[in-house]
Amino acid sequence: MDIHASYTYDLRTVKAIQKQLGRTRKIVFLVLFGLFTVTCAYDFIMDLVRHRPVGNSACFFFIALVMLAAFSVGIACAPKRTLKQLGSRAGRTVELTFHDDYFETSSSAAGFEGRTAQYYSQLVKVVETPEFFIFFETSRMVMPVDKATITGGTAEQLAERLRVAVTDKYVVQK
């Protein structure tokens, strides 16, 4: 029995993809840079409390604070920026058909017409979130599958098919 689904490059989809692609690196960076900012703030405050001339500690603190704020704003704006960069791909819908050991993708959007097939075994990883299945074709190239668009079966049936096909490469995130 074939299961059908689709995805559209919209803001919701881009946010889900970016969450999976950059999660660990961004969190580690924010924690380390946050600790550096706190250390600089402590030095700056201790200079003020001890009535010492404020020098390098103030400069480091304010530079760290500005960089931390800029990075945080960059993370918040990244999905909208990515959607804008997609250009003509933004809003395009891709149809997927899931067979027992492979899946097919097809698109009729101008400039992206075509049909491709890929075996589940070729996937690097499959991540299941509450709204999507995200197929990692490489560590940086992903394909989202919107659970709300599944027909010809259920999300649970597709999840079971994927678990069997990719075994240890299947990850569930709540």
Q: Per-residue pLDDT tens for 141-157? A: 778 889 999 999 999 99
**What average pLDDT does range 50-76 have in this prediction?**
72
In 3D space, the residue among 27, 143, 32 whose CA is nearest the CA of residue 94 turns out to be 143
Strands 170-172 and 125-128: parallel
- Predicted local confidence at residue 129, as pLDDT: 87
Of 12-16, 72-76, 91-95, the range with the highest mean pLDDT is 91-95
> Does residue 23 carry a pLDDT above 90?
no
What is d(CA 107, CA 76) in angstroms, rounded to the nearest whole number?
Answer: 30
Q: Name which of 2-11, 37-46, 68-77, 114-123 the model is least confident about.
A: 68-77
pTM, rounded to two decimals: 0.63
Condensed to tens digits (0 to 9), the pLDDT of residues 78-100 reads 655 554 555 556 667 888 999 98
Q: The tokens of 145 are what?
A: 């599958």
